[in-house]
Amino acid sequence: MVDTTLFDLTGKVALLTGSSKGMGQAMALGLAEHGAKVVISSRKQDQCDEVAALINESCGAGSAIAIACNIGYKEQLQNLVDETHHQLGAIDVLIGNAGVNPFYGSIMDIPDSAYNKIMESNVRSNLWLAKMVAPDMIEKGSGSIAITSSTGAFGPSEVLGTYNISKLADIALVRNLAQELGPKGIRVNAICPGLVKTDFAKALWDNPEVERRANEVTPLRRLGEPDDFKGIAVFLASSASSWITGQALTVCGGTNMW
């Protein structure tokens, strides 16, 4: 019999932003399936409630709770952390998966308002959250933080330039947090998805010809699916990754090899 405690998350509390659909929902389910109690969070409470109910039905009552939060507002993030403490206790795992992209086009044309929203929501909110949950992890001498970046961080784009800039900034944020929090036993890593069939990325794949071309240049010959991210979430949250920090881990079917 193989010992599976390496991936056992029993007793752990995991807070995930952007977890009411797509990759975030899949990651939350994966964590719950391995014993964690998960917090489902996104802007709309009804969507969070629906996902939490599905996870509780699948993994057992009390496996998930739902707390709505708009990551763009610091007071809502603080409420998210405070309510998690109230309902579940100290936080062991944070996955900052929420992100925005309100502009599609050249960075020469992006309005200041759209630029600010992208950088503040995709980067600053993750720093805010890390600062809010770090005391829990410091007190325990352990913890895992993961931030969803993108393979878009590794190159330019004529239509997603500012989004890609924000995702490269997320990797820089991860490295700095890993450096500063490592001596306290906290691991911090970035998850870098390739093109995944989610609603968020629908404009990039919802066209038969575009999808065909994307499949052709992907070594594994298919686009990503949300469930492809369950494993990386469990790995980073568990002791299986106990000596991994400050890394940008690509989950992309082989389109970006480092």
Q: In what order do the strands lie in the sheet with 64-66?
A: 64-66, 37-41, 13-17, 93-96, 143-148, 186-193, 248-251
Active-site residue among 73, 104, 115, 163? Answer: 163
C-beta separation of 14 from 230 below 8 A: no
Q: How far apart are CA 79 and CA 76, in angstroms?
A: 5
- CB count within 10 Å of CB 107 equals 17
Nearest to 80 by CA among 45, 114, 104, 111: 45
Nearest to 18 by CA among 96, 87, 77: 96
Kindly list the distances between the CA atom of residue 253 and the CA atoms of 16, 93, 196, 216, 223, in Å, as whole numbers in the listed order: 24, 26, 10, 11, 7
Determine whether 104 is an active site residue: no
Phi, psi for 148 (deg, rounded to 5): -80, 115
For the chain, the C-alpha Rg in angstroms (whole number) is 18
Strands 93-96, 64-66: pairing is unpaired
> What tokens appear for 153 in the block?
């961080």
Q: How far apart are CA 122 and CA 101, in angstroms?
A: 9
Residues annotated as catalytic (active site), given as ranges: 163
